[in-house]
Structure 1
Amino acid sequence: MCGKRLIVVLCAGLANAAATGQVVEQASPVQCRSFDHAGAVPAGGGHEGSGGGARTFPLRTVDVTGINSVGVLGNPNNNVVDLLFAPGTKIWGHSADAMFSFFGGPANPAMGFRMRNSAGAHITINYAPVSSPFAANDPATKVLAGNEITLGDGRLSIEFFEAVDDPANPDGTWTGGTIGVMFQDSGECCMWDNGGYDERTGIPSQDACMREPPANRVCVFAADDFYLEPPYVHRIDWMEAVFIVENPAPAYNYDAPIGKVFLYKDCEGQPGMLLPGYESGFDLFLPRDGLIEMLMDGSKVFRVVAPATDLFLDGGKAYWVSFVPTGVTAQGGSDRWFWGSAGSPDGVTPPPHVLGSVPRVKQNDPANPWEIVCIDPAAACGGCTDLNFCIRGERCKIIYDAADFRTFTGAPPPMTSLGARSIDADGLPQQQARAADDVTISPCETDLYPCLIEAYVWTNCIPPRARLEIYETQCDPLGDFARPKDSRLFPLVGTIDDTSRVDLGFSRPGPAGTTFRLYCFRFTEFSGFVFEAGKTYWISAFATGGASTNNDGYFAFREPRCPDDECYRTGNPGFARSAFPGPPTYTNWTSTGLLPIAGAQEEDFAMRIAVRFAPPTLTGGALAACIADFDRSGQVTVADIFAFLSEWFSGCP
């Protein structure tokens, strides 16, 4: 039962958690998903959850690979990972799926990690291994009520420690895996709220097209639209809606998908093509707290949730979402799922207006065209209505947008006209190349925490993978250009945990029968890295592959939106260096305009950067840390100009 509190003795040791010094029991080993409420499930694990539509608890994972245990809690040499959440976020607990190995003495000391807010309140996770290697396998574990910690400024520090205070000789290391931070923010539908279920009506949306007997088949797909705010990129955590179920099954399987959610681009006010890269949709689940109401006729009202992994949507655009439960697909299944309406002022009459466009449906075949809901009253007639749904996640402001990548038509050109070589072939020094471009952080910003970096990379490696490095600027007053430093400031290892990719559908032949394809790689985990205000950084994205000279990669050039615009370039030109075998080689950082390649010209590289903002900083409570913030609002806006002029001309005739 998810949420039941037990003491669990692990095979490799004993784990417990404490919040602000109080011992908290471990949850049972049943896996709680990020969208499950942590309340108790009724005896027998039935389909009737705790009710009330309680809010869910997303889980943010941290890759702990390579983190050493050094000293006791508070030792300044301990490894600390800093994370940034929305101010006011509550930390509810943790999870762990990681391995730890000892290499020092004494043998197998106690170790663990502590999650702490800026005020010092904490949740401490202790382990007492009896052998090495040790597996920390903790399901999502919520602390007892009252032991949660609140992040007033959104900052969370995770300190890794051991029971032996010998900082010169770390005694062990986390060899792989992740820990999870269980959190809850304000609970609002912070991306889009289409309205709650108004208890007025529902529109069928169910893929039971092949169910037997034919009389029990339902084959209707409904969709409604939403809009996301510019100039942000929106990371989606999950999408949820409320459905009315006629003839519900006696029980549903919580641990298996109950259907799918599909996202579509908007095409002239109706669903267009499926969102590229996500054509297969997102699995739809019944949360363990999903039962909201039992109706007099035996129908039930359920909340359904689709968690979204590595889903980022651009602001300034409309999208369509389609919740499509399957219900019981086996022969004899007769449950029918209706997507609940929203927006009625009194629960009886339709809403006076709808948000965006009216819903669309398509019937009998997913390939059929979309129609306005009441085209066929016999199939689904909800009138002028919205459909209830909520989209939750985090918005990150785009501070650098050069995502217009160069492509080609006709005969494929040389790769050197599409990008600059950028590859790590199995870590071999003689098979390295890097390409990088710069971004300057405004001196009047607070420090910025990267949320998403998208980089466009050509690669013929299988599987296609990429990594990211960040460099500082080389200060060279005699040089013609600013350029990256020779040594990197921050390496990011692109793994399945912190990088996703989208195949953009462009290809060209490569060496020895290989094929280059263009991918958008998305990097999302930055281990507390901060862009400092007023500094210039260089971002290098590169493909990775095995030790073969046929494996290759290129950081794609940016294509100006207007080909005749000679001033489109952002900041300094991109730079590259290559020790890769075969001509040309240029082992020092070289401007793209000076590369020893025919037709070389100054180029930018295709990438996009979105960030989270740190809280505004004041000095002594008097002057803003950024002097341009004249009215001390914490933001630099046009209002600061008028505040300055008002002060400047005060007392003038």
Structure 2
Amino acid sequence: MVAALGATAFGADSVQFKTGSDLAQQWNDMPRRAITNFTVTETPQARVVDPTDPTKRSVEWWNNGPRDGNVALRSQSDDWEDFRVADDFFLQEGCWYHIHEVTVVMCVSVEAEIRNYGLEFYTDCNGVPDELILGPFLEFTEEQIGTVDDHGLVLYQVTFKVGEFLPGYQRLWLSPYGIGNIGEYFWVSSNNLHVQGRKGHEQYMDYGWTPVDEVCAFCEVFCTDFFFTIEGQVCKVLKDNSDFVTATGPAVAGIPNLAQSLIPFKTAAADDFQVPPGKDQEICKLKVWVASNCIEFIRGGLFANECDCPTGDVTELGAPFSIELLDGEAHLGLPVYLVTWVNNEDHPVLEAGRNYWLAISFPGATNQSHRAYWLYKAPNSCTTLNINEAKYRRANSAFMEFTPYSLIPVVGFATDHAFKLWTNPVPHVCNGDDDDETGGSAGSPITPGNKINDANLIGGTQGQSGSGTQTFSQFAR
């Protein structure tokens, strides 16, 4: 039980306001705005984690302090009025953040038998919420965790599914709110009057955002934070080959066309990356740049490395998270796409101190008109190759095993492919079935296969390169 004395509800009977506050002048005419110093009777029920939840490998990378009983402020949008409360957090420089879910605690009146919630994110402008940047997010789960004594309110833990990826450094604000005309929704405070960053702000209709303790002088609405946690991944760039090049000209057959193949990854291109020593990693986010007229067939996968070559069986990455058409870009007469994969529990563990090969394939794109090209990384005198040069293989050809581009006559030069990879350390996962006391880790490592000797793979030609002059343009992403 969280106990507090002197529970008070503020609304029409409040009489003292801070001079010059437009929002305070509206207070007397409003419905109940705040519950302060309230007592909560906890519900004896533990949250059950769904073992199939794809975010179970998340870590809690932001906690805005323990829930307290100091204040709960109205945060609700209905057909007539809009009350909002927002609180801030920040993203550190040098990291990227994959937000899987946000959890808040809301007080809701018993009249709201069917509850709906939303969540929005705002940019920061000089310490105040500014422009809407993400949301609304309307997918949520809720769990009753208590009741607020003497006020006809029930306490709910509400978890929003977000699935967004944001870079540091920046300060952001989030605002959870109830939706609907039935009942009242209040966001519960946290941190026992200790403030992380900026104190909470509230907004009524279009009066602008105001610090929560500056609306009513004697309402016991303290300088406070509000309860929320953020779970997901804190990621860093492992390899950045995002400066791709495109070529203008006719759509031509031949290397490195990845289409016109039925079996996954028997026709594929591959490029390598390195996991540093230390901790095992997992994929946080992966972007590749391709040009194709059959983009729906794209597949991504990983091979182990042995002697600077892909080896063993491929571990597929599953369906892409998103496929984005890049306006104004073209390669050999084809549209250019940015294809993104994000964290998935089926992705393998990337073992520390190992090399891996990312492979792209278009199985099932068997029509003779199908074309698919994984774009090259822009050439540079010293950084064209980031580790080893990319490789290619094609079913039923002279290059049925992965072969360096420099040894394929119709290409004849060493190059890398365009992709960008973010990773994060694998979070510790306790597994009751593990034999050791330390528990296990999520995912499975990729197992190398037999050694492949590049020198034995060369011979013959495959396809024809385009004729005439090709103009290359470079883009940084």
User: TM-score by structure 1 length?
Assistant: 0.48
The CA deviation at 1:222 is 3.5
1:251 aligns with 2:113: yes
Summarize deviations over 1:430-450 as a string: whole Å, max 9, x none: x964222212344x435x253
Contact 1:436 1:540 (8 Å CA) reproduced: yes
Contact 2:213 2:222 (8 Å CA) reproduced: no
The CA deviation at 1:195 is 1.9
Contact 1:422 1:435 (8 Å CA) reproduced: no
C-alpha separation in 1, matches of 2:213 and 2:410:
61
C-alpha separation in 2, matches of 1:434 and 1:268:
50
C-alpha separation in 2, matches of 1:598 and 1:199:
69
The CA deviation at 1:193 is 0.7
Please name the residue that 1:69 is paired with.
none
Percent identity, aligned pairs only, is 17
Change (3 A) 1:181 1:316: closer
Change (3 A) 1:414 1:184: closer
Summarize deviations over 1:63-122 as a string: whole Å, max 9, x none: xxxxxxxxxxxxxxxxxxxxxxxxxxxxxxxxxxxxxxxxxxxxxxxxxxxxxxxxxxxx
The CA deviation at 1:229 is 5.4
What is the identity, as a one-letter code, of the residue corresponding to 1:389?
F
Change (3 A) 1:462 1:573: closer
Alignment equivalent of 1:541, drawn from 353, 360, 363: 360
The CA deviation at 1:492 is 0.8
Please name the residue that 1:471 is paired with.
303
Give the number of the structure with larger relative contact order, counting CA–CA contacts within 8 Å between residues 6 or more apart: 2
C-alpha separation in 1, matches of 2:375 and 2:177:
38
Change (3 A) 1:231 1:462: same
Please name the residue that 1:434 is paired with.
268
Alignment equivalent of 1:355, drawn from 196, 212, 219: 196
C-alpha separation in 1, matches of 2:286 and 2:327:
17
Change (3 A) 1:426 1:324: farther
Alignment equivalent of 2:423, drawn from 597, 610, 620: 610
Please name the residue that 1:304 is paired with.
158
1:454 aligns with 2:312: no
Please name the residue that 2:461 is paired with.
none
Change (3 A) 1:394 1:598: closer
Summarize deviations over 1:176-224 as a string: whole Å, max 9, x none: xxxx799899xxx82111123333334432221xx2xxxxx23234432
C-alpha separation in 1, matches of 2:263 and 2:177:
49
The number of residue pairs the alignment matches comes to 383
C-alpha separation in 2, matches of 1:201 and 1:602:
60
C-alpha separation in 2, matches of 1:415 and 1:52:
68
Alignment equivalent of 2:322, drawn from 501, 509, 517: 501
1:576 aligns with 2:392: yes
Please name the residue that 1:220 is paired with.
83
User: TM-score by structure 2 length?
Assistant: 0.63
Please name the residue that 1:445 is paired with.
278
Please name the residue that 1:274 is paired with.
133
The CA deviation at 1:454 is 0.9
Summarize deviations over 1:250-274 as a string: whole Å, max 9, x none: 5226xxxx12223456566545552
Contact 2:266 2:400 (8 Å CA) reproduced: no
C-alpha separation in 1, matches of 2:427 and 2:155:
41
Map 1:193-232 → 2, pairs under 5 A: 193-208=63-78, 211=79, 217-228=80-91
Alignment equivalent of 1:518, drawn from 338, 342, 354: 338
Change (3 A) 1:200 1:532: closer
Task: Report which stretch shifted further, 235-244 or 596-605.
Answer: 596-605
When the two chains are superposed, the root-mean-square deviation of aligned CA atoms in Å is 4.7
Give unmatched runs, 5+ long, in structure 1: 1-49, 62-179, 212-216, 346-350, 476-481, 616-653
C-alpha separation in 1, matches of 2:211 and 2:61:
25
Give unmatched runs, 5+ long, in structure 2: 1-40, 429-477
1:240 aligns with 2:240: no
The CA deviation at 1:360 is 4.8
C-alpha separation in 2, matches of 1:501 and 1:228:
23
Contact 2:269 2:393 (8 Å CA) reproduced: yes
C-alpha separation in 2, matches of 1:506 and 1:358:
41
Contact 2:200 2:226 (8 Å CA) reproduced: yes
What is the identity, as a one-letter code, of the residue corresponding to 1:541?
I
Contact 1:469 1:488 (8 Å CA) reproduced: no
The 3-state SS of whatever aligns with 2:70 is strand
Summarize deviations over 1:375-430 as a string: whole Å, max 9, x none: 9948x9966432221123455x647131634378xxx84699xxx9574556259x
